[in-house]
Amino acid sequence: MTGYSVTSQPSRALSPEPFPERVSAVQLRQLLRAGACSATAVTTWYLERIAALNPQLGAFNRVTSQLALEQALTLDTARRQNPSRPLDQLWGMPLGHKDLVDVAGVPTTHGSRAFGSSPAQQDDPLVAQLHRAGAVCLGKTQVPEFGLSGHSENLIADPARNPAAPTYTAGGSSGGAAAAVAAQLLPFAPGSDAGGSIRIPAACCGIVGLKPGRGRIPADMAAVRMAAQPAATASKAGTAAQTGLAAAQAAAAALTLTAQGPLARSVTDAAMLYDAMLGDATEANLWAVRRGSSQSLRIGVSFASVFTSELDIQVAPEVIRAVTDCAAALRELGHRVQFVDFDYLSGYYPAFENFWQWNFAQASFAPSAIAEFTPYAQHSYRRGQQLSVTQFQTAAERLRKIVADAIKQWQEFDAVLTPTLNVAPRPVGFFERADPAQNFRLQCEAMPYTSVFNVAGWAALALPVPTHSYIFESDPPTTATPVGVQLAAPSGQETLLLTLGANLESILSGDKIPGQEPSL
């Protein structure tokens, strides 16, 4: 397929039909299943909203209107022809996919000028799974070049902006997805997270983001196996250099940082998309969140960061108040809450920087392609190329040691509560204007709480705190973005995090705690 283009002009004013503007993803699915609106009507409504708002937000760098309407029409036609057939899990639900993953018939740019406009031949495994579940693809969401940054800016399209304060970043690397969800250009969206790339934009935009534990999403396991394949091939070759590289690649595969997960405006909506990403037709997480839980948990609350020994980590007063209030709310819910100053081993920052940049440099690019990179991507790639296999192995081993010691401390608790970000979202262009050699450091100082859970392979949930906001006086008329907190637990405890997050979300918003909800 070809011919899908960027929607750049606002269309006619949006109609409130076929559903209320602030409808949740769960409610939208109920309307679709009940036949109150068609997949085509829902797709058209969202495409019109994207056309009206995306030019100001930059959430999408490519809107696939033709593809979306074809998919929706196919769904509606099949339903008319066989009305008794059960509907798939995400039947008619609009989604956008990060421009780091392939959607058949649509170019994948990775946010870089180094890639051409040739359409992908097939869907990425998770994209294919969500499409089989009945989701409709509205387009590709904005990302930083190669997903390297905690902000979504590149040289091929407008930056993803914060819907609440448009001169500020929407975060990254799932910044376009988070902006789209926060502005209701999508009901929810899949994201990916290698160092905070779901949770950082969720915190910036005031929405919910779940990074599952390592290997929890079936499509992520395929990526781990692919990462290990070069190591196995090199190992069989037998030379000392190849064997050393094989060992390094095996270490990289064992410490795979990336996990795919949902971004949504509520924990309930996030649970529904997470179940679909798992391929769980029973929707165990959605039902667990709806039922709620009265289980009393041990929760450790901390402002400590693994970066503290090398970087100047300052925590904004708004963040301190938000975390403290969440701790009080958790006590009100019956949990045993303890503030703790985790004592992390030193050396995390240089080890993480070396690990990150060496992995990026394992991709092969022609000099002409590297010349098209942003200055930050060029610096990261060239520095990664300068690192030896021994330096990488030393970094990987240091990270293992640090997180092993951290896990011993965290495991005294059922869950750990930290800030998501320690400061307010930065203005658009803040990091890209910096010296490329200092860019990574600046990002780590502004986002010091997320990456350690990627290295540890733990699950982590970003949750907005609506009772606290950062105020941006230069951005009227909407000048506040919520402060976010992060709940973390071992891989496999995603249901615990979602249930705990839903209870906390309810008490912070003044709603009743989940439980005894009407059937879906």
Q: Which residues are catalytic?
A: 98, 173, 197
Q: Are strands 298-301 and 336-339 parallel, antiparallel or unpaired?
A: parallel
Contact predicate 348/402, CB 8 Å: yes
Q: What are phi and psi of 284, to 5 degrees?
A: -65, -40
Q: Which residues contact 426 (CB under 8 A, 6 or more apart)?
A: 151, 168, 169, 446
Rg (CA), the chain: 22
Contact predicate 4/67, CB 8 Å: yes
Q: Which residues contact 325 (CB under 8 A, 6 or more apart)?
A: 465, 467, 468, 508
Q: How many Å apart are CA 504 and CA 60, to the nearest integer? A: 31
**Best CA proximity match to 146, nearest among 112, 175, 192, 119:** 112
Q: How many Å apart are CA 339 and CA 402, to the nearest integer? A: 21
Q: How many CB atoms lie within 10 A of CB 462?
A: 33
**Best CA proximity match to 474, nearest among 56, 164, 63:** 164
In the DSSP assignment, the letter for residue 187 is S
Task: Provide the token pair at 260.
Answer: 């795919």
Q: How many Å apart are CA 256 and CA 270, to the nearest integer? A: 23
Sequence length of the chain is: 520
Q: How many Å apart are CA 148 and CA 154, to the nearest integer? A: 10
Contact predicate 182/242, CB 8 Å: no
Task: Please report the beta strands in 71-202, taking only residues with DSSP state E, as ranges in sequence order.
Answer: 94-98, 136-141, 188-193
